Structure 1
Amino acid sequence: MLMQGLPRSRARIGRAMTQRVTTRRVLALCLALSPMPLAAATAQATPAEAQAAVTPAAVSQPAAPPLRVELNKLETAGETCKAVLIVENGKGGPIRSLRLDLYAFDPDGIVQKRSMVELGPVPARKTALRQFEISPTPCAQVGRVLLNDVAACEGQDLTREACLERIEPASAKGAAPFVR
C-alpha cells in the first residue's frame, strides 16, 4: 500500500528492505527464544548479520571453575600458631603445585609474618587439607591473613595469574579473616 505511488523498481527495493528488517527481527527472536542450531538461524541472514550473530558466542569463554581456599583453623602449639587450610578443587583439573604468598597481620593491622605455603598437589574434584606454621607468632596475635599473591601454579592449562583469579579465599567461623 505504501508503494502505490512509486515506480516499480523503487517498490521492489522498498519490499526488499522490509524483508531484510523482518529477517533481522526473526533472527533475533530465534536466537533469544530457541535452542535451534545457530547455523540454521543464520542461513537466511546476510553475511554481515550472520557474523554479528556468531561473534558474541565465539568471544565469550566459559569461566574457570573457582578454587576455594579456606582458613579453617588456627591453633597454638607452644609459641607458634598453626594454620589449617582447606583447598577445594571441586570442578577444576589437577593442580601439581600451588604455592601461595601469605601475610599474617596482628589485630592492629601490623604485618607479623610472611609465609610461602605449598598447597599442592590437589587432584581434580578433590578437597585437601594442608597445615603450616605462622611462627613465632601466637594465634592470639593473628588478626587476619592476606593472600598476597600466587607464587607458583602448575597444572593443566594453568598460569599463576589464572590461579590468582580462580582463588576464592574464605574463613571458617572462629578463624581469623582470610582475605585477598
Structure 2
Amino acid sequence: MLKRSVLALTLASSLLPGISHAQEAGAQSPASELVVELNALQPTANGCRFTFMVTNHLKAELASVGFELVLFNKAGMVSRMTVVDFKDLPQSKTKVRQFDFTGVDCADLGRVLINDATECKGDGLEVGSCIRSLNAQTRTDVAFGT
C-alpha cells in the first residue's frame, strides 16, 4: 500500500507542471491596450510631419480618441503643446494618422510626451481607459511616451 501511495504521488507531481503550464497558457488573453507608435518624422516646407501608427487592442471600438502632446527641443525646453485627434479606431484595427506641425523643426525635437488623453469615447469604456491602457512606442530617434 505504501508503494502505491508513493507511486501515485510521484505520478501526480510529474503531471502538475504540465497542468499548471496548460492552465497559464489557456488563461492568457490578448493585452487590453492602445498602442500608439511614433512611426516617422519628416521635414516639410513649413515644419514637421508626424506619422503615427495606432492599434486598438482595447475591448471596445473607439468612437473617438485624442491626446495632448508636449514637444520638447533637444535642450529639454517645451516648444509646443498641442492636441491630436485620432478619430475613430475600430477594435483590433491598425490605422495610420499624420499631423503637420508648422514651425516645428524635426531635427531639433528631443522628446514627445503624451501628457493626457483629451478624448476617449467607446461603449463600456471607463473614464481614463485610453491613457491607462496606452502603450507608447517609437521607431524614431526621438523619445516618445508618457
Q: Tell whether 2:67 aligns with 1:100.
A: yes
Determine which of 104, 115, 120 is the counterpart of 1:153: 120
1:179 matched to which residue of 2?
A: 145
CA contact 2:60–2:125 (8 Å) conserved in 1: no
Unmatched tracts of structure 2, length 5 or more: 1-18, 21-28
Give the superposition deviation at 1:91: 5.1
TM-score, normalising length from structure 1?
Answer: 0.61
| RMSD of aligned alpha carbons | 2.0
Q: State how 1:1-180 maps to structure 2 within 5 Å.
A: 65-90=32-57, 92-172=59-139, 174-180=140-146
Of Structure 1 and Structure 2, which has the larger fraction of its residues in strand? 2
Question: How big is the shift at 1:64?
Answer: 6.9
Q: How many aligned residue pairs are there?
A: 120
TM-score relative to the length of structure 2: 0.75
Q: Which amino acid aligns with 1:178?
A: F
Report percent identity of matched pairs.
30
Larger Rg: 1
How far apart, CA to CA, are the structure 1 residues paired with 2:46 and 2:105?
Answer: 6
Distance (whole Å) between structure 2 residues aligned to residue 126 and residue 63 of structure 1: 14
Structure with more relative contact order (C-alpha pairs < 8 Å, separation 6 or more): 2
How far, CA to CA, are the matches of 2:97 and 2:129 in structure 1?
Answer: 21
SS of the counterpart of 1:143? strand
Q: Which 4+ runs in 1 deviate beyond 4 A?
A: none
Residue 119 of structure 1 deviates from its aligned partner by 0.6
Deviation at 1:63, TM superposition (A): 9.7
Matched letter for residue 130 of structure 2:
C
Unaligned runs of 5+ in 1: 1-32, 35-61
